[in-house]
Structure 1
């Protein structure tokens, strides 16, 4: 008799796109977060784990209409357009109005490693939705970012979300701890 099947992980990269990352408001530790995400892409690629990248888009005629320069993934992001899945979304929750959940189920993914930006919007919404949909979200504490706001620094936003999401919604890990099967 076979034992339980190992969990299959996928990597979801959220909104690491030109218009957000290179905006006048600088992402907190942006270069390090990008390096950490690229390290995770390498780990996932070495074992053949699915890699998905979401781009936030807006309505036609807006600066972030689908296909606009601001919605393009960062050139330094190690995404392979031929091997990885890149998809557009219009809401903070990467699942809403997309085929993400179906694609993950079709690939037998149980655990979803979530990275990217912005912490208090798309990262938060996607972590909560993933848990609600029955996936086991893993948030990489040092691979998501945001910008300072008039009320809170980006570091406080990140720290708050790492603490709040850990346990009820996600399992929190560092880039160094995160592995793919």
Structure 2
């Protein structure tokens, strides 16, 4: 089984916007540890950037659209791609690239839990990929209805079993 690490939407405008993600420093450190372990095991790394339309706060090339500077992504070796929907697959060539790399299992981390993490996990499973979700490797912001911590725990519990294999990040590639 060939793995890939998929990092979703760790961008300046989301990570350092007016509403800060829950436990953002810990999640960033967790993702950077996974990047380091992926590199050590020659696991390919795919990095999605959410891209808004021209004139939006996260239009391509804008400061908020950039990857968070503390994320240890190497643009010369990691595959960066843009997406415009919650799914990392819709309107991108991610599926083709994963197939070309013979990837069968995705480790999915990043932001936002209830949108892009949830949607990408479900679509990946529907496309036949095994999905590993580090329960401590994704985050979001509080909403009017729920605190981020509750959103994260709900999605970890809901996705576990039928959609993803729920693990702790420290157990991935160790």
Q: If the TM-score is normalised by the length of the shorter chain, which range does it land in? A: over 0.9
Matches within 5 A, 1:118-133: 118-133=112-127
Are 1:42 and 2:36 matched, yes or no?
A: yes
Match of 2:100 among 106, 111, 122: 106
Partners of 2:41 and 2:173 within 8 A in 1: no
2:58 corresponds to which residue? 64
Distance in 2 separating the partners of 1:33 and 1:107:
27
Q: Which runs of 5+ in 1 are unaligned?
A: 1-6
Distance in 2 separating the partners of 1:168 and 1:16:
26
Are 1:157 and 2:136 matched, yes or no?
A: no
User: With structure 2 as the length reference, what TM-score do the two structures score?
Assistant: 0.98
Q: Secondary structure at the match of 1:179?
A: coil
2:162 corresponds to which residue? 168
User: With structure 1 as the length reference, what TM-score do the two structures score?
Assistant: 0.95
Distance in 1 separating the partners of 2:40 and 2:49:
24
1:179 corresponds to which residue? 173
Q: Which runs of 5+ in 2 are unaligned?
A: none
Superposed CA RMSD in Å reads 0.8
Distance in 1 separating the partners of 2:60 and 2:102:
29
Q: Which has the larger Rg?
A: 1
Matches within 5 A, 1:12-51: 12-51=6-45
Shift of 1:107: 0.2
1:74 corresponds to which residue? 68
Distance in 2 separating the partners of 1:139 and 1:75:
24
